[in-house]
Chains A and B, each alone.
Chain A
């Protein structure tokens, strides 16, 4: 049985997550704690997403449409095959995620999808970072996180607009905490730039992105309620 490496596993993890089991991948997962952790994380995300009740209130169509348009603009969910391997891998992951969350209500999806994208982006850049130099890792991180950062910024603008008519304590709290998370992200990014292989800093940065996605989803929902 051929021994596969992390990069090959990543190129084949989509069918794995859809249930295809191959001995070489199983062997790799047994021996690679990092890839094993990725699979565990994605399984957890998948399970969590499916556990959300279908009775959740549906989000307005425009929120969903805007999110999708933005993701398409960022190239994360386009259907065409991209030229570079790296971009292709990102697009494949995104398509796979659409399938993954196919049965989940849209409003939940808005937050969950962003969170999952972030998780996958970091996961994709994760297994390589131990073995490559810092420059390569930084480049990988930049490629993985730039579209997400852009997406989060766009979502932030939309959320801020939709919350503009509200003057409640809730709105103030959401904005205040968004500023906290933005500051948190900036400081974590600085730490990662200074020490790209610092796993704790990367873990905190991932967590900060996840919190921001979650917060923006909450703001979008409430923005619709106050309009």
Chain B
């Protein structure tokens, strides 16, 4: 495993890695300056469970898993005033974007990434604006954005996502999910996660997934709608409280037999058990509406 500095190289399908020796790389360096300075590509051989970090101020970041023990980074730079560094240190690949002058507009700084990683890769992504999309990656993941939306699909592991205003969608995710935002909306669809903690201030939260036995599901907002959809086979202990808003419920809950709940004296609250109460569901809002609805 070697550490390589990022060089702008345009790879074609005819150029095999074996042929890409120093001479070829040098040649391609020269060619790339004329051919396509905005698109750059780099490959890194990695071992099992590599760590990939991406720091980008503005742009689209798309990460997909593949079966190769290799990380491929394709970056598309909006201007020649921005540069991408990608370097490998052991089993870690760090990718970052930086400006080459002081007064750059966000559009000048824009860099889009298409990154392929092994399935078991761990990801750490910082992207202020634009979007982040990750599919089929099973390793742990930490994503932080300001305005960028985050879409995860078929992800697993310990997933932590933090945005300021960006939305978050998780489709068929598993493992442990912790997501927080101020104004971002959350959509948690077809989840198979045993631990979900989601908190947004003014955003809406939609949870449409399985409540796994012994799982804990905590959804909290200040305003907006919290909507949870359950199926007849689900089994959960429900606690739903909205201080100033409504709680609408379609689940036939049996009152708790033992008084272990903290029962607030304020607002509209609902407690009860659905089937055997194997999962724990806690929904809290300040003046938003909470809907507990049957799944279609």
Contacts and interface: CB of A to CB of B under 8 A. Distances in A.
Contacts, number: 73
Given A176-B183, A184-B222, A191 B165 contact: no
B202 interface: yes
Contact of B182 (A181, A187, A188): A181
Interface string B189-216: 0000000000101100000000000000
B286 interface: yes
Contact of B183 (A180, A198, A208, A218): A180
B164 A195 contact: no
Given A170-B129, A173-B129, A218-B146, A180 B264 contact: no
Contact of B165 (A173, A199, A200, A204): A173
Interface string A192-227: 000100111100100110010001001000100000
Nearest to B267: A200
Contacts of A26: none
B128 interface: yes
A184 B24 CA distance: 59
Interface string B93-121: 00000000000011000000000000000
B277 to A, nearest CB: 23
B129 A168 contact: yes
B29 interface: no
B147 interface: yes
A177 B243 contact: no
Given A170-B147, A188-B286, A218-B164, A180 B202 contact: yes
Contact of A211 (B57, B182, B267): B182
A174 interface: yes
Nearest to A183: B202
A207 B199 CA distance: 10
A20 interface: no
B256 to A, nearest CB: 19
B241 interface: yes
A180 B284 CA distance: 19
A169 interface: yes
Interface in B237-289: 241, 243, 264, 266-267, 284, 286-287
Interface in B113-150: 128-129, 146-147
Contact of A169 (B147, B183, B241, B266): B147
Interface residues of chain B: helix, strand, loop or mixed (majority):
loop
A21 B128 CA distance: 45
Interface of B: 57-58, 105-106, 128-129, 146-147, 164-165, 182-183, 199, 201-202, 222, 241, 243, 264, 266-267, 284, 286-287
Contacts of B165: 173, 176-177
Going nearest first, the 5 A-B pairs with the smallest beta carbon separation are: A173-B147, A168-B106, A177-B182, A173-B165, A170-B128
A180 B286 contact: no
Contacts of B286: 187-188, 200-201, 204
B138 to A, nearest CB: 23
A173 B202 CA distance: 14
Contacts of A174: 146, 164
B183 A177 contact: yes
B241 A200 contact: yes
B257 to A, nearest CB: 22
Contacts of A201: 243, 266, 286
B125 to A, nearest CB: 15
Given A169-B106, A170-B128, A200-B284, 12 more contacts: A168-B58, A170-B106, A170-B129, A176-B183, A177-B183, A180-B201, A180-B202, A191-B243, A200-B266, A200-B286, A201-B266, A204-B243
